Every structure is written in C-alpha cells, then in structure tokens.
Amino acid sequence: MGLKNFFGLERRRELRQEISIDVEFQVWDESALKPLTRKCTGGLTNISLEGACLHTNHVLIAGHHLMIHNDVEGKTPLVLEVPFPASGDASPRKLKAQVIWYKRVGAERRFQFDVGLKFVGLSEDDQKNLESLLRSSGP
C-alpha cells in the first residue's frame, strides 16, 4: 500500500476498514425501479464511505454480467442489502453501488471473485450508518 501512495497510484480518498459483512445483492434497473436479477449472496470487505470490495461466486446472473451490464450513468447499479447492527434497525439497508472492477481470485477461497464497488446515491441515513459501522470497527 505504501508504494501505491508514494507513486500516486492509490485512487482511494477514504481509508478502508477490514470489516467483513455478509450481504445479498442483485442487479437493479433504476429506470424501471425493479430488479433485473434474483438475489445472490456475498461478503463485503475493505469498506469505506465511498466503496467496498464484494466477494461473490456470481458475476453472471440470469444473463446479466456485473461488469458488462453495469451502466456508468447509474441506470443499472448493483443493490446491496447490508445489515447495520449499530443502527438498531433489524432489517438490512439497501445501498446502491457501481461496479468498478472485478477479478477471479481462485478456488481455494469461499468466494471466487472480488468485485470493486463505488457507492452511489447514498442517503444521509446510509452515510451515517456507514460512518457508525466504520467507527465501531476502527483501530
């Protein structure tokens, strides 16, 4: 991580926390306000106020590839159902994210793919919940 910062290769502006949270996600059609795919499971790690890394076994869901069908204008974001234990709300919050990159990481892990996400359209409550989550797991 140090060399990336030294050479200016690190694009992240927010510090990431090594938190691990089980989530469900699906590809969402923002124009029609409906899901394009079924829900899949995964895990979020490396979380910041701007984004996270999604670990999953699913990059192709019902004919929709997470990277290929990812609309840069935000019309087909990924919707994540994220539990925020500190918020006191029993139901998970839905966060929208844009897929930035993905890579296959191998069969020796629980999940085969890492998917880099950038959160989009966060409400003030979502922002506060993320801040609380990051504070509660801080160093």
Q: Which domains does the chain have, with CATH numbers?
A: 14-136 (2.40.10.220)
Asked if the model's pLDDT at residue 107 lies above 80, the reply is no
Q: Please state whether 63 falls in left (phi above 0), alpha (psi between -120 and 50) or beta.
A: left
Provide mean pLDDT across the span 107-113. Answer: 83
Taking a C-beta distance cutoff of 8 angstroms, is the pair 98, 70 a contact?
yes
Note the Cα 82 to chain centre separation in Å: 9
pLDDT given at position 90: 63
What local confidence, expressed as pLDDT, does residue 133 receive? 81
- Sequence-separated contacts (24+) of 122-128 with Cβ below 8 Å: 122/95, 122/96, 125/93, 126/93, 126/95, 127/49
pLDDT one-digit tens code per residue, 29-87: 888 889 989 999 999 999 999 999 999 999 888 888 887 666 666 667 899 998 876 55
Degrees to nearest 5, angle at CA 70 with 69 and 73: 125
pLDDT-above-70 percentage for the chain: 76
Closest to 49 in 3D by CA, of 124, 105, 112: 124
Q: What is the pLDDT of residue 2?
A: 44
pLDDT for res 77: 84
Sign of the C-alpha dihedral computed for residues 24, 118, 101 and 1 taken in this order: negative
